[in-house]
Structure 1
Amino acid sequence: MRVDLSAGTVDFRQNEIAMASAATVDLGSSPAGRVVITGSTAILSFGPGKNLTRLVRFANAVTLTHNATSLILPGGANYTTLLGDMMLVTLDSAGNWRVRLGQHADGRALLTVVPVTGNSGPVSVTAGTVRYFTHGLLQTAASLVYVGAGRRGRFRNLRVVSPGVPGTDQFWKFTLQNLFTDTALTCTISGAGSNQAQDLVNSAIFAAADRWSIKVEASAGANPLTSILFSLDFEVLD
């Protein structure tokens, strides 16, 4: 640190030091404000301390494990870094770390959220059937309707809205599929009182080559269903 009393300025001249990845990388023990983390061991914690800021660069792919209290990551989920990723992390007075900002080596944001929205179209889902849909297309088999993910990422925040309701004691169940297999993202519109549902808790990781569609299951006595409005958030992870 250089203090110029005549000019009234303070210049923090921070060099970068290397620290090896480990279950706990003690950033608070670093004598420098900039740290490059080497190695590929998964990281569960950035160590003890309070009221600190560190600029962290990653020299390898390493998985950071999200903790809702002590290591808060963007998107609230684990993250695997890419070579050259940088993060600005802060430690509060209670000893909890949070990633405030991040970007890839090429300047792209660490977490880019792409909204995915659509309408299943005019084809009807009748009682007691299972159908599969994406935007503007609804079919009887998952192999007939799907969209490539295109990039590695995480789907979350599934929301669906229907023009009507299933009916008393009936339901429409919606599930995001990956390569024709159910994921954890699912929600159900039930009964005669609501025409919408959402899953804001679960998520599903997709590889770039994976393909998605939404499966809808109608109970045996459900009303016909058309024009399903849906939305998802796709968090780009590559």
Structure 2
Amino acid sequence: MQALADIDAPLIETSVASAGTCDIGATSTRGVLITGTTTVTSFGSRRFRQRFVRFGSALILTHNATSLILPGAANITTAAGDTAVATSDGSGNWTVRDYARATGKALAGPAAADITDASTSGRAVLTGTAASGATALGLGTGNTPTFAGLATTGSIVRDGPAGTSRNILFTTNGVARWEINADNGAESGGNVGTNLTFSRFDDAGNFLGTIFYCLRSDARMVFPNGMETQGVFRHASYTVGTLPAGTAGGTAFVSNGRKPAEAAGAGTGVLACYSNGAWRRLSDETAVVA
């Protein structure tokens, strides 16, 4: 009858302040509330005790392979509301038999070797390197995944700090052919830097040169090796009064510019080039007039 009385007795809780030696076995109740935040390295040396422990605050419970054995053989950082069941043996050494976090989360996650996956690819992804994981999933043999197809309803972002290249490379059997690149030009204000380039590579994947690049600062496109059109090339069209400030070598069509034999106000249009500080007819280098 005494044993039944002990089992059915109310689980009264006694508060014990955290300390290096937090002597929970000295309480007269099986329930213990450990208060405070001091690191605990021992539960005392009382023999043959059982305690239901609740933690009131965050503290470090220190594992000792002999006198305070914790689950996982590692220190535990407690949180308010965490609970544990601890017992002591005939030598007064304590073992935490069970530990439950107030959040419901596991005390420690399993290691990769503890997780069973029947598939070879699953094991490779779980335990291998980034490269072996990519290979197992059929995404290539290196750290860069390869997709047979990709669809997205949002943006594809290629991010990086200023002064670094951000590129998209097109290959044939793994060998470079073309590259679109936001270059490594320094961003110094005024929309300067990070210009867009389009480059080509030879059959061996060696860089051959930049076909053209776009300047972020003023939207100009520059063709270092010239440009050929296989159709009609149309210049921007202006009137004499709307011609912009010129840059040497610039060309434009002036819709009301006069040809040599045309009268004032009767111009039918001329092709003009900016030279020596003025827009001039290409035919005779005369300044364009309406």
Normalising by the smaller structure, the TM-score range is 0.3 to 0.5
**Greater per-residue helix proportion:** 2
TM-score normalised over the length of structure 1: 0.47
- Give the strand-richer structure, 1 or 2: 1
Whose Rg is larger?
Answer: 2
- Scaled by the length of structure 2, the TM-score of the pair is 0.39
- Which structure would you say has the larger RCO, counting Cα contacts within 8 Å and 6 or more residues apart? 1
